[in-house]
Structures are given as C-alpha cells and as structure tokens.
Structure 1
Amino acid sequence: MSPQKTISPRAWAELILLGVIWGGSFLSIRIALDEIPVVTLVLHRCGWAALFLWGVVLLMRLPVPKEPRIWGAFLVMGLLNNIIPFGLMAWGQLYIETGLTSILNAATAIFGVIVAALVFADERLTARKALGVALGFLGVATAIGLEQFANFDIRSTAQLAVLAGTVSYAFASAWARLKLSGLPPQVAAAGMLTGSTLCLLPAALLVDGPVSLSLETGTWLSIAYFSLIATAGAYLLYYRVLALAGSGNLMLVTLIIPPVAILLGAWWLGEELKPQAYAGFALLAAGLMVLNGKPVLRRKRTRN
C-alpha cells in the first residue's frame, strides 16, 4: 500500500461527503427497482453518468484517447467496475435490505488487498494485512449468518451476489492500475462508463425489452441521484480525496457508507437489520482499521 498521508480537515470533509453520497445510493437504487428492471437500471446509471463525465472532459479540454488498446481496456474496466458489480448488487437489493447490502459492500477493500497481493509484487500479504483480511472475512460470515446456508434460499443467493460484486470491484482496481494508470482520472472514468453503456444497450434490450422513458417522478429523481451524483459526481470527488488523503486513508470511506445506508433504509423503507449484521460490520470495520491503522499505532508508540 502507498504511504499514508495526514488527513487535513478539508480532506476529512470531502471523505465524509463521499461516504454520505455513496451511502445514499443504496436507497435510490432500491426505489428505482420498484419500476425498472436490473439491467435497465444499470444502463441508466452508466449512460447518464458517461454523458456527464464527457461534458467534464470537454470543459477541462482533456485529450480523448484514440488507441484501440485503450478503448479495449475501457470495455474490460466497464465490465469489472460497473456492469458486474452494479448489476449483482442491484439484483441482490431485491431480496435483502439496503443496509445489509452496504455492509457486505464494505468487503470490497478486503478482497482488494487479496487481489493486489496476487497481482502486484509490491503488495504482498504481510502479517498485518493477513490479520485485517481474516477479521474482514469473519465480519462477512457474521453479517450473513452461516447457518442460513443450511437451508439455501434466494436471500442467501442475493448475499453471495453482492459479495461477488465486491470481488469484481477488486479485480477492476487491479486492472485500472495495470492498464489505465497513465490517463487523467476523468477520462478513465468517462471511458469505462462509455464501455459499460455500449455493452448494456443491447443487453437491456435483450433481457428487459425496450427502454421506457415514461417513468414516475420519484424514479427519475432516483436515477438522477445514483447516476449523476453517486456515480459521475462521486468519481470526481473520489479522485480529489485520493489526491488529498492517499489511497490508504481513502479506504476509511467504507466505514462511513453502511451507517448512512442503514439509517436511510430504516427511515424510508422501514428496514430492520438483525444484531448479527451490526456485529459483522463491527468486525469488518476492525479489519479495515487493522489494514489502515499502522501509522496511527506507530505515532502513539513514539509519543509514550
């Protein structure tokens, strides 16, 4: 992992804002699912976000890549970072609570450490990382409740689908480092969302039928939120926080998202999570703090 940076008040504010935005996306997606099917929802999320980000690219006068190699990388990135995880998690939300989905989503950072250790020589799995990963897996197992798999049902499948989405995110992160690291982040985000949209257009037509734009106002507001704010806007904010706080500290955003999603799910949808879900999140949070916390521990030791 890259060296830690000290987080400034501004970076903290933007980190919290990012967590709140992403936490709210789970509720907006669940609301939209009442009227539009999963593949069409993901098409809306990627398509409108891509248009928005290309507008940003044009305003910033950033160069648009023309090499087929890069556009091929965009297609793969769109599949790994958008189509697979967005689709699996949206489908999962049809059968499990938004708050639980957000808790399982926090496993992205855990799988990210494992994939990075497998792919990159400078990301080896140290004893500290192994402890963090073990705590993370224990948290996931606790949140799901392994006893459920004695009677495997659609709810169990939905939870596994969400976890599969986090694995896809982890591989997307490795792919981006391998293939897209030299591009401006705004261009990389716009390119991968465009690749996603090109794949989703025929898929939505084939799976869901013609895309209807005659939707309820609440559905359009949800689409606007999760596409323009929680996808396009969040990508731009993500890269700002990354520059300000560093990749290690940015991992802390995963601790902010679930409480926001849980509160919104309880307020708007009347969701209630079992105690094991909260216990699982606590273990996941502990694992993330172990992965992220060694500089803090060192500073405390040197002061004593």
Structure 2
Amino acid sequence: MTAPAARPDLFSNRRFVYLAAAFCCVLWGSSYPAVKNGYRLLRIAREDYADQIVFGGYRFLLAGIMLLVVAVALRRPILDFSRRQFGQIVALGFFQTTLQYVFFYIGVAHATGVKSSIMNATGAFFGVLIAHFVYANDRLTGRKALGCLVGFLGVLTVNLGHGLTDFDFTITGEGFVAFSALILAAASIFGKRISRGLDPMIMTGWQLAIGGLILTLGGMAVGGEVHGFDWRSASLLVYLAALSAAAFAIWSLLLKHNPVSLVAPFNFLIPVFGVILSAAFLHEPVLAWKNLAALALVCGGIWLVTRTGRRNA
C-alpha cells in the first residue's frame, strides 16, 4: 500500500504543527476529569477493575469506528494493506490502546485527576530516552538529561504527602499512570515507523478499534459490565471516543511528517490542561503548593528538552 502524499504546504508550517499539537494536548488533558466523571455517573467503583476496562473498551472501539466511518466518507480505502501491515496494526492496537489503557484506567481510578495528569507527563521523558536508542540523530544530550531530571523531580514532588518525608504514592494509582505513559511513548515511536507506508487516519482507526475490542472482550471475560447509561453518561462516552479519535489521528499525522523531537515535547501541555480542567470539573485542590511546584518543575524540565529538540529538528 502506498501512503497518501504529504502536504508540505501545511506540515512545513511550524505554527500549524504547534497549534495542532497543543490542541491534541487540550483533548488529552480533558480526559482525566471526563473519565472520573464517567465512573461517577455509571457508579463504577475504584475496585471495579473489570468494569473500568469495559468502559475503556467501549470508548476506544467507538473511537476507531468513528475514524473508519470518516475515512469511508472521504473515500479512502480502509482495507488496502498487506498481511504484514495488518499484523503491525494489531500489535500497535494491543500496546497503544489495550495494554496502555488497562494501566491508565485503573491508575486514574486510584489517583486524583491532578496527580494523574502530572504523572502522565513522564511520557515526555520516556519518549526522549527511547528516541536516544532508536534514532541516531536524536541522542540524549546534557541539556535533555537535565530536563529529564528536573521533570522527574516534579513527579516526585506531586507525590509528597503532608510533609517532605511523607511520600504519597501507590503502585495501582500513580504507578500505573506512569507505566501507561511509558507504554504510550514506546508505542508512539513504533506507530511513527509503521505509518511510513500507511494512511495515519486508517492506521489509527484500526488500532483503536482492535485495541478497544480486546479491552471490551477481556473486561467482559472477567465479569466486567457497564450499564445504566443515560443521556449524560452516553454523551460523556461519545465525547471521550471523539477526543481519542481526533487526538490520536492528528498526533499520528504530526509524527509521520515531523521529527519526534519537534512534536513529543508538547506533551508538557497535558499536565497543565489536565490540572486546570481537573480543578474546574472535579473541584480538586489545584492551588496546593506541591501541585504548583510539581507543575513548574515538570514544565521547566520539558522546556529544557524542547529547546534541544527543536534545535536539532
């Protein structure tokens, strides 16, 4: 299959790339309060892991279907790929959607929206470290290493309890969110590689649908179920699906046509928007000193990485 030609008039415009990447981060940042509100509306408890997985499965299966329907409407061939390419899409769907969101959904259920969004910022640093071993022109420099160190100090800060020696961290909460960020960082680089011969919209649509289907069936197999939908919870599910479809499709397109070092650092906006939106919709204490300090450190760390990345792009 031959991938559609790039649009150099659009993708060579750095302002468009920056705005598109920031838009993706606004959408992803809004997912933290949306997921937690979805749990509340559907009465999914923190310990109902199977129900959380089914809820995530519905979201991503619907997101994939949305993208494939749009592709058909645009008259793009959604089945024009080789057996090898289909195997790569299945692998991407399993890691980027199924496995990542098993950890993400359980983690968000056991951590606040504010802490979850900041912990997810570790994905930017994981991306920098993985790129060092994958791309010869994207090596880890002293400035990048310093940025990673400063950012991880921010992650440590947000997990402090009431005192400086009281570390408030749980494996199934903050730990799972950080691990999901690691999986996403690795899967995004893999997705960039296979998108060279695939339409990013079709690739994203299939990987979301396949990953969502595995989540749904897996959650149901261990007793998970989600019921009691009303117009509010159904609207929230549609919103979550739409934001995933849009954000992943745009992000895949940006990574396909731009260096990782140019796009990935925009992940620093996710904790910013996540914290603000979590505070607005979940009434969480965004002005706590440790949250503000953590945000400053995380954003400062990724700014250091961004400066280096853009210079080398």
TM-score clears 0.5 = yes
CA displacement at 1:70 relative to structure 2? 1.7
1:218 is aligned to: 232
Equivalences for residues 100-249 of structure 1 within 5 A: 100-145=115-160, 155-212=170-227, 214-228=228-242, 230-239=243-252, 247-249=260-262
* Structure 1 segment 1-304 matched on structure 2, within 5 A: 7-8=14-15, 10-34=16-40, 35=42, 36=44, 37-63=51-77, 64-145=79-160, 155-212=170-227, 214-228=228-242, 230-239=243-252, 247-273=260-286, 274-294=288-308
Per the alignment, do residues 287 and 184 of structure 1 end up closer, same or farther by CA in structure 2, a change over 3 Å counting? same
Is the 2:265–2:305 Cα contact (8 Å) retained in structure 1?
no
Cα contact 1:7–1:249 (8 A) shared by 2: no
Amino acid of the residue matched to residue 245 of structure 2? Answer: A
Paired AA for residue 38 in structure 2:
A
Aligned partners of 1:143, 1:23: CA distance in 2, in Å? 17
Q: Deviations over 1:79-128 (max 9, x none)?
A: 22112222222212222111111111111110011112233333322222
For 1:73 and 1:242, locate their aligned partners in 2 and report how far apart those are by CA, in whole Å: 17
1:213-248: per-residue Cα shift (whole Å, max 9, x none)? Answer: x413221121111111x1012223335655898644
Gaps of 5+ in 2: 1-10, 45-50
Give the AA of the match of 2:14.
Answer: I
Kindly tell me: are residues 222 and 12 of structure 1, through their superposed partners in 2, closer, same or farther at Cα, counting changes over 3 Å?
A: same
Shift of the 45–247 alpha-carbon distance from structure 1 to 2, 3 Å rule, reads same
Which of 251-260 and 239-248 deviates more?
Answer: 239-248
Change over 3 Å in CA distance of 1:61–1:169 after alignment to 2: same
Gaps of 5+ in 1: 299-304
State the alpha-carbon separation in 1 of the partners of residues 162 and 289 from structure 2: 15
Identity of aligned residues (%): 24
TM-score normalised by the chain length of structure 1: 0.83
> For residues 19 and 84 of structure 1, do their structure 2 counterparts lie closer, same or farther at Cα, with a shift above 3 Å needed?
same
Q: 1 CA distance for matches of 2:19 and 2:99?
A: 30
Q: Which amino acid aligns with 2:24?
A: L
1:278 CA drift (Å): 2.4
Q: Is the 8 A contact 1:112 1:171 kept in 2?
A: yes
Q: RMSD over aligned Cα, in angstroms?
A: 3.0
Q: How much has 1:195 moved relative to structure 2?
A: 2.1
* Paired residue total: 292
Change (3 A) 1:92 1:252: same
What is aligned with 1:302? none
On the 8 A contact 2:123/2:182 being kept in 1, the answer is: yes
Query: How far apart are the structure 2 equivalents of 1:153 and 1:208?
Result: 31
Shift of 1:297: 8.2
**Cα deviation code 1:33-71 (max 9, x no counterpart):** 222421112111211101101012212322323422222
Confirm or deny: 8 A CA contact 1:6 1:245 kept in the other structure: no
